């Protein structure tokens, strides 16, 4: 069930508080693009960092890479994107607006324009890759594409990583980066974008071990979703049937999430078989097989791919953290982020702007910056400042008051319980260290 009101509140909060702005807003915007403000970029980076930490830094079998966005166009011919990365497009013969045919219901045997009700024409396939020209000459040989998924950059670097690191199977390549899709109908805030970011892993294994690897990554992916604060009951694993999967996949599970716009795809886990390495071997005329030193077997590894859009993860985090509560007759808006992903983890608030409190407060903020994302705020009443921090999801506020000058302690307020406790300045770093992970 869609919750339009909640979505509107989130969009408005994001703009007002400096999380997310419409792309190139002062020029009237550009559909399907958004710009991140200081809090949005902090939230996005915290989500990316937690993914990287979970899947790369803490594991022996993962190799991070950062491949170029522009690739030799042959790579996209090999992957099947040039011929097949398309969505069905329909145009209204009256208003000439264009829609994705599969987003419009068929009523009495026909699809109708959502704006004026005219019967729509035949659907045609529309390739979603952004074409561009590389170099100074504009001819067919200089055409390239902005990558539509980060995966391609990992398949073409498979041999490089094998040659440099000699990893034993199973192992994975991991990448976070931009991808571009000329979506027919970008919509629903950052849910469907033309410029997006993906966090993807290509996990290679022996062909006989793909089910084991699939199950392992499925569990790990669920663990990561919970670690960024998504409620278990809002996550739904959906097995994608034959005919509905991408051309490269023999099995796919979509992780759907209860967004305010309804239950929609958040992420996917696909068994891509040996499709990509085989295709890239053939098109590049490079041997992408793997030699197992122990069994003396040579083969093309199979691949499992967990893939998630950064913006969809961020939207899931934002929408599930949002709540409004009645506090003594007033509405308190709270983003109850997990401290590990909160854009600001600790706000330092002196009770007065005067130097006698502002100076020690700034010193405390600077010390805490070594272990946390910290903001310093001395404007308006303390009550208003608490509400402002609640609304942007800051889990802890440190208040420096006149007693601080004598007892060398501060008040720490918890966002969720609104309870306050007195902590010695000397103990603050160790107090927070355990709480922010
Ligand atoms: N490499 C596999 C792949 O790209 P996908 O299902 O097309 O598969 C993976 O995309 C994830 O990327 C999706 O689950 C979603 O989180 C995100 N994504 C895809 N298209 C998107 C778009 N237009 N806007 C925002 N996120 C998108």
pLDDT in tens, 139-163: 888 999 999 999 999 999 999 999 9
The pTM assigned to this predicted structure is: 0.95
SS3 312: helix
Q: How far is the CA of 308 from the centre of ligand 1 (A)?
A: 6
Q: Whose CA is nearest to atom 20 of ligand 1?
A: 192
Cα–Cα distance, 80 to 283 (Å, whole number): 11
Q: How high is the mean pLDDT of the chain?
A: 96
What spacing in Å lies between the alpha carbon of 307 and ligand 1's midpoint?
7
Domains and CATH numbers, the chain: 4-73+148-318 (3.30.930.10), 344-433 (3.40.50.800)
pLDDT at 292 over 60: yes
Distance 156 CA to ligand 1 centre (A): 20
Find the 253 Cα to ligand 1 centroid distance in Å: 13
Once rounded to an integer, what is the mean pLDDT over residues 110-127? 91
What is the predicted pLDDT for the residue at 137?
86
- CA 67 from chain centre, in angstroms, equals 18
Q: In which band, very low, low, confident or very high, does the pLDDT at 1 lie, cut at 50, 70 and 90?
A: low
Instruction: Check if 40 has its Cβ closer than 6 Å to any atom of ligand 1.
Output: no
Atom 14 (ligand 1): residue with closest C-alpha?
267
State the distance between the two ends of the chain, measured CA to CA, in whole angstroms: 34
More confident residue, 139 or 292: 292
Could you give the CA distance from residue 367 to residue 355 in angstroms, rounded to a whole number?
A: 18
| Cβ atoms of residues 16 and 318 within 8 Å | no
- Ligand 1 and 307: CB distance under 6 A: yes
**Adjacent-strand bridge partners of 411:** 399, 422
The average pLDDT across 300-308 equals 98
CA of 369 to the centre of ligand 1 (A): 34
Whether 312 lines ligand 1, by a CB cut-off of 6 Å, is yes
Is it the case that residue 165 has pLDDT exceeding 80?
Answer: yes
Ligand 1 atom closest to Cα of residue 265? 14
What band does 2 get if pLDDT is binned at 50, 70 and 90?
A: confident
List all residues 6 or more positions away from 129 whose beta carbon is below 8 Å from its beta carbon: 76, 81, 82, 85, 145, 146, 148, 180, 181, 182
Q: Please state the atom number of ligand 1 nearest to the C-alpha of residue 198.
A: 12
For the Cβ of 149 lying below 6 angstroms from any atom of ligand 1, the answer is yes
- Tell me if 254 CB under 6 Å of ligand 1: no
Judge whether residue 46 has pLDDT over 80: yes
């Amino acid at each position: 069930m869609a919750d339009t009101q909640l979505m509107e509140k989130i969009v408005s909060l994001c703009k007002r508080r400096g999380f997310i702005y419409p792309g190139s807003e002062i020029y009237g915007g550009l559909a399907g693009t958004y710009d991140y403000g200081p809090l949005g970029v902090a939230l996005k980076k915290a989500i990316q960092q937690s993914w990287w930490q979970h899947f790369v830094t803490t594991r022996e079998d993962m190799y991070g890479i950062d491949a170029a966005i522009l690739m030799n166009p042959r790579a996209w011919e090999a992957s099947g994107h040039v011929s097949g990365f398309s969505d069905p497009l329909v145009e209204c013969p009256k208003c000439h607006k264009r829609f994705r045919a599969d987003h419009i219901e068929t009523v009495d045997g026909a699809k109708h324009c959502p704006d004026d009700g005219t019967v729509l024409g035949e659907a045609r396939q529309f390739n979603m890759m952004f074409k561009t020209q590389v170099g100074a000459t504009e001819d067919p040989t200089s055409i390239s594409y902005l990558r539509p998924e980060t995966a391609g950059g990992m398949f073409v670097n498979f041999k490089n990583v094998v040659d440099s690191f000699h990893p034993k199977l199973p192992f994975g390549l991991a990448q976070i980066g931009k991808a571009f899709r000329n979506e027919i109908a970008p919509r629903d805030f950052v849910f469907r974008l033309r410029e997006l970011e993906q966090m993807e892993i290509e996990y290679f294994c022996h062909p006989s071990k793909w089910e084991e690897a699939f199950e392992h990554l499925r569990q790990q992916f669920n663990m990561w979703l919970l670690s960024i604060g998504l409620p278990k009951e809002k996550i739904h694993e959906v097995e994608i049937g034959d005919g509905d999967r991408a051309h490269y996949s023999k099995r796919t599970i979509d992780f759907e999430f209860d967004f305010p716009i309804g239950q929609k795809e958040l992420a996917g886990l696909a068994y891509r078989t040996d499709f990509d390495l085989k295709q890239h071997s053939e098109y590049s005329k490079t041997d992408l097989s793997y030699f197992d030193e122990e069994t003396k077997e040579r083969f093309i590894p199979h691949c499992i791919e967990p893939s998630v859009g950064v913006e969809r993860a961020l939207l899931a985090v934002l929408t599930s953290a949002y709540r409004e509560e009645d506090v003594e007759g007033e509405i308190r808006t709270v983003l109850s982020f997990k401290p590990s992903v909160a854009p600001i983890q600790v706000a330092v608030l002196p009770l007065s702007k005067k130097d006698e409190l502002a100076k020690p407060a700034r010193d405390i903020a600077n010390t805490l910056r070594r272990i946390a994302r910290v903001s310093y705020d001395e404007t308006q009443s303390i009550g208003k400042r608490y509400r402002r921090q609640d609304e942007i999801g800051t889990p802890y506020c440190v208040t420096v008051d006149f007693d601080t000058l004598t007892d060398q302690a501060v008040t720490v307020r918890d966002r969720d319980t609104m309870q306050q406790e007195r902590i010695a300045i000397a103990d603050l770093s160790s107090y927070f260290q355990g709480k922010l992970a």
